Amino acid sequence: MRIHPTSTPAADKMKKDLRRLPHVYSKVLELPLPADAHVAAFESPAAFHFVAPGSGAASEVWARTVRIHPGVVKVVVQAAGAGDEDDDDGMELDRWRSRLPEESCPAMAVAGFVDGRLVVTVPKSTGGDAGEGEDGAWKFCNGGEITGKLVVVQ
């Protein structure tokens, strides 16, 4: 009687090695909230809006774009005095994250408090492939055209 059966040559051929995917999503938004926080997401014709209850600890926040890998971008929203700007390698597991659609323009994301709520706005790009550089994550919104719309965040 065998306790640990040996593998057969046919079973060795069928064995598949797990491979680590380099990156599943090319654009991600990360908020300074717990992973289970309630965040409302809205889509308008010009932008994506994310609204969450304010934490009350920070009075000023800002959004910064981090290029993780060519073609992979993360928008990180932080309190104005929290952490070092160059600390891009930190991986917080208990953070609220969301995948951003391909038509979003993360380089132009803005964040701020409105009526005690954290509001993050990520504009959409309408130019398709216009203005696309060497990787699709760093393309100009609206194909580099200037429009008559002005977005102000206090």
The pLDDT tens digits for 78-135 are 887 666 554 544 567 788 999 998 899 999 999 998 888 999 999 998 665 433 444 4
Which comes out higher in pLDDT, residue 24 or 121?
Answer: 121
What average pLDDT does range 4-13 have in this prediction? 59
Is residue 94 a part of any domain in this protein?
yes
Averaged over 145-153, what is the pLDDT?
Answer: 57
Counting every residue written for the chain, the total comes to: 154
* Residue 152 counted as domain residue: no
Place of tokens 């051929």: 13
Q: Which residues constitute the domain of residue 85?
A: 23-125
CATH code at position 110 = 2.60.40.790
Q: For residue 83, with 0-12 CB atoms within 10 Å meaning exposed, 13-18 middle and 19 or more buried, which class applies?
A: exposed
Which amino acid belongs to residue 111? A
How many other C-beta atoms lie within 10 A of the C-beta of residue 37? 15
Which amino acid is it at 123? P
Is 148 inside a domain boundary?
Answer: no
- CB proximity list for 116: less than 8 A, separation 6 or greater: 53, 54, 56
> What's the confidence (pLDDT) of residue 46?
92
Angle at the Cα of 149 from the Cα atoms of 146 and 152, rounded to 5 degrees: 115
pLDDT at 39 over 90: yes
pLDDT tens-digit map of 49-79: 999 987 666 678 889 999 887 888 899 998 8
- Give the pLDDT of residue 136: 44
Q: How many domains does the chain have?
A: 1
H or E element in which residue 64 lies: strand 61-69
Over range 10-17, report the average pLDDT. Answer: 59
* pLDDT in the model for residue 139: 46
pLDDT of residue 68: 83
